[in-house]
Amino acid sequence: ATPTALLVGTGRGAQLGVLIKGPEILEETRRVDTVVLDKTGTVTQGRMALVDVVPAPGEDAAQVLQLAGAVEALAEHPVARAVAAAAAERRTAPEPVATGADGVPVGSDEVREFRADAGHGVSGVVRTAHSGVGLARRVLVGRAGWLADQGVDVATVTAAVDAAEHDGATAVVAAWDGRARGVLVLRDPVKPTSAAAVAELRSLGLRPVLLTGDNRGAALAAARAVGIADEDVLAQVLPADKVAHVERLQASGARVAMVGDGVNDAAALATADLGLAMGTGTDVAIEAADLTLVRGDLAAAPQAIRLARRTLRVIR
Ligand code: ADP
Ligand code: MG
């Protein structure tokens, strides 16, 4: 291999918006035959929008959104950003700054003991002082199954969760005092370039697989929108299990490229034969990857593979 040709390849890569960690990575880029795609932020925009709040019987949708938003304001997941933004937006005009009887400013929420559980949800103790009397509540927002595991009664909201998921949405449940209080329904459209990029990857002989922590309904909707077969969809995969899925594919003889953007993708990116990070993603993902798609556009993935194949043909 002549170093000059390799440098030409990597230089062209930079023009295409692909950053490569080193020229030796071109070899693996050429050889991969399976491409595992993270859903949220890779195939989809990763900017979720809250489209509905379904209160449990007897609950108030505005309060569900407000308390869920208070906790999610401290988290970074796309679900959290959408819920916090909607809560901030829909909040009634700022109330006059005053101090309640307990010293908490009226109209503001204070969150203590915040915890984020990757792939599951968040919790925190929220003190609201709307009436001037502070009330502390342990609020949980996350997957219905995760709440149920913690003893929360989710029976009153399972129908709403199932309906939203069946419809291709992401549904998280807000709960306090041991009971589900409402369902937050979110949507995350696929990026306009994702379907063409998946078709390109396929035309290069790669088999696309969708891997996500999200529910099966949302995963299938995204997969169908970009032309990935239902049997190649792996949904509700915990962050730690993303690695296991990559290893399973490798054990079956596949040479696996993984494309992702999140903290929860980093280990799988490092395990894959070739890791590709979205440039719009987290630093952890970029550090774990071999290649970075600078513009966060999946279309650069097939371009990088084509370039690697062409470059190595020149060298040989
Ligand atoms: P993905 O692979 O789609 O990025 P994650 O593994 O990060 O998904 O999350 C899986 C699921 O866990 C989400 O679809 C959501 O139901 C739940 N979840 C994760 N983080 C949060 C959060 N901050 N608030 C509520 N739910 C969350
Ligand atoms: Mg993601």
pLDDT of the residue at 222: 97
Q: Which atom of ligand 1 is nearest to the CA of 236?
A: 10
| Mutational test site, ligand 1, from 39, 43, 79, max ligand atoms within 8 Å of CB | 79
Mutate-to-test residue for ligand 1 from 37, 77, 115, 261, highest number of ligand atoms within 8 A of CB: 77
| Ligand 1 centroid to residue 22 C-alpha, Å | 33
The pLDDT of residue 110: 87
Kindly report the protein residue whose alpha carbon is nearest to atom 14 of ligand 1.
214
Residue 164 above 60 pLDDT? yes
Would you call 300 exposed, middle or buried from its count of C-beta atoms within 10 A (0-12, 13-18, 19+)? buried
Which of these three, 162, 187, 212, is where a domain ends?
A: 187
Q: What is the mean pLDDT of residues 4-11?
A: 51
Q: Are residues 126 and 111 in contact, defined by beta-carbon separation less than 8 angstroms? A: yes
User: Which of the residues 38, 261, 290, 297 is marked catalytic?
Assistant: 38
Asked whether residue 5 carries a pLDDT value surpassing 50, the answer given is: no
Q: Tell me the C-alpha distance between 181 and 157, whole Å.
A: 8
Furthest-apart CA atoms within the chain: distance in Å:
78
What's the rounded Cα separation, in Å, for the pair 241 and 238? 5
Sole residue written with tokens 């190649």: 232
Active site (annotated) includes residue 38: yes
Cα 262 to averaged position of ligand 1 atoms, centre (Å): 11
Ligand located closest to 123 CA: 1
- In what helix (H) or strand (E) does residue 274 lie, and over which residues does it extend? strand 274-278
Q: Are residues 231 and 282 in the same domain?
A: yes
Closest Cα to atom 27, ligand 1: which residue?
121
- Residue 275's pLDDT is 97
pTM, entire model: 0.86
What pLDDT is attached to residue 91?
Answer: 76
Interval 50-83: pLDDT, tens: 999 999 999 999 999 999 999 999 998 899 999 9
Listed residues 132, 165, 187: the one ending a domain:
187
For residues 169-181, average pLDDT: 97
Q: Where is average pLDDT lowest: 28-32, 84-88, 247-251?
A: 28-32
Residues 195 and 271 in one domain: yes
- The identity of residue 91, as a single letter, is R
Is 179 found in the same domain as 107? yes
Ligand 1 site, CB within 6 A: 38-40, 72, 75, 77, 79-80, 119-122, 141-143, 170, 172, 212-214, 239, 262, 264
Residue 40 shares a structural domain with residue 53: no
Residue 159 CA to ligand 1 center (angstroms) comes to: 20
Looking at the structure, tell me whether residues 77 and 36 fall in a common domain.
no
Q: Is 93 a residue whose pLDDT tops 60?
A: no
131: its two tokens: 């009436």
Claim to verify: residue 93 and residue 59 sit in the same structural domain: yes
Give φ, ψ of 71 to 5 degrees: -75, -45
Domain CATH for 230 = 3.40.50.1000
Residue 114 has pLDDT above 80, yes or no: yes
Give distance in angstroms: CA of 290 to centre of ligand 1: 25
Residue 198 CA to residue 251 CA, distance in Å, equals: 24
Domain interval for residue 278: 3-46+190-315
User: 133-136 contacts: CB < 8 A, separation 24 or more?
Assistant: 133/100, 133/101, 133/102, 134/100, 134/101, 134/102, 134/103, 134/104
pLDDT at position 163 over 70: yes
Mean pLDDT of 254-258: 97
Query: Looking at the structure, do residues 158 and 282 belong to the same domain, yes or no?
Result: no
Considering only CA atoms, give the Rg of the chain.
22
Domain count of the fold of the chain: 2
Q: How far is the CA of 135 from the centre of ligand 2 (A)?
A: 35
SS3 state of residue 222? helix
As given in the structure block, the two tokens for residue 314 are 């020149």
Q: Are residues 171 and 104 in the same domain?
A: yes
CATH of the domain at 181: 3.40.1110.10
Percentage of the chain lying above the pLDDT 90 cut: 73
pLDDT band per the 50, 70, 90 thresholds, residue 7: very low
Let me know whether 54 and 40 are in one domain: no
Q: How far is CA 87 from CA 75, 116, 140, 141, in A?
A: 14, 19, 15, 14
Residue after which a domain boundary falls, among 170, 187, 204: 187
Same domain, 243 and 297: yes
Average confidence (pLDDT) over 263-292: 94
Cα–Cα distance between 169 and 183 in angstroms, integer?
A: 12
**Do 37 and 77 lie in a common domain?**
no
**175 and 63 within one domain:** yes
